[in-house]
Amino acid sequence: DTGVSQDPRHKITKRGQNVTFRCDPISEHNRLYWYRQTLGQGPEFLTYFQNEAQLEKSRLLSDRFSAERPKGSFSTLEIQRTEQGDSAMYLCASSSDGGGQPQHFGDGTRLSIL
C-alpha cells in the first residue's frame, strides 16, 4: 500500500500529558499537510510543509503544538500539555508541488483526552 500512513490510529491519554503522532506521506510527494477534524465538522488546516520547510501555520496551532518534517520525509505532530479541547481526529495529507495537485489523506489519528 503506497498511500499516506498515520500512526497510531488511536491515542487515549490523560489531560496534561504530551502526545506525538507520525505521518508517512506518499513517497514522491514533497508537500505534507496536517488538519484537525472534530465530530460533524470538516477538516481544519493546521500547518503544511514543502520538503522540510514549514511554510504556513494556522492560528489554531497554539504554542502547545509543534510539527516537524526532518529530511523532508515523514512528519511528526506533537501536542504538549494536552487539554480536553484537543480531542479530535488529526489527519495528514500529502501532494505533489504546485497548484491543482490533489491532496491525498491518511486515515488519521483519533485522540481522546480523559
Q: Which positions touch another protein (CB under 8 A)?
A: 4, 31, 33, 35, 40-45, 48, 56, 58, 91, 93, 95, 97-108
Closer to another protein at the Cβ: 79 or 108?
108
Instruction: Supply the minimum distance, in Å, between the C-beta of residue 105 and another protein.
Output: 4
Among residues 82 and 95, whose Cβ is nearest to another protein? 95
- What does the buried/exposed string (b/e) look like for 91-105 if buried means 16 or more CB atoms within 10 Å of the residue's CB? bbbbbeeeeeeebbb
Minimum distance from residue 20 beta carbon to another protein (Å) = 19
Nearest-approach distance from CB 22 to another protein, in angstroms? 15
Residue among 85 and 102 whose Cβ is closer to another protein? 102
Q: Which is nearer to another protein, 4 or 79 (CB)?
A: 4
**Cβ(81)–Cβ(63) below 8 Å:** no
Residue 2 C-beta: closest distance to another protein, Å: 15
Using only the alpha carbons of the chain, give its radius of gyration.
13
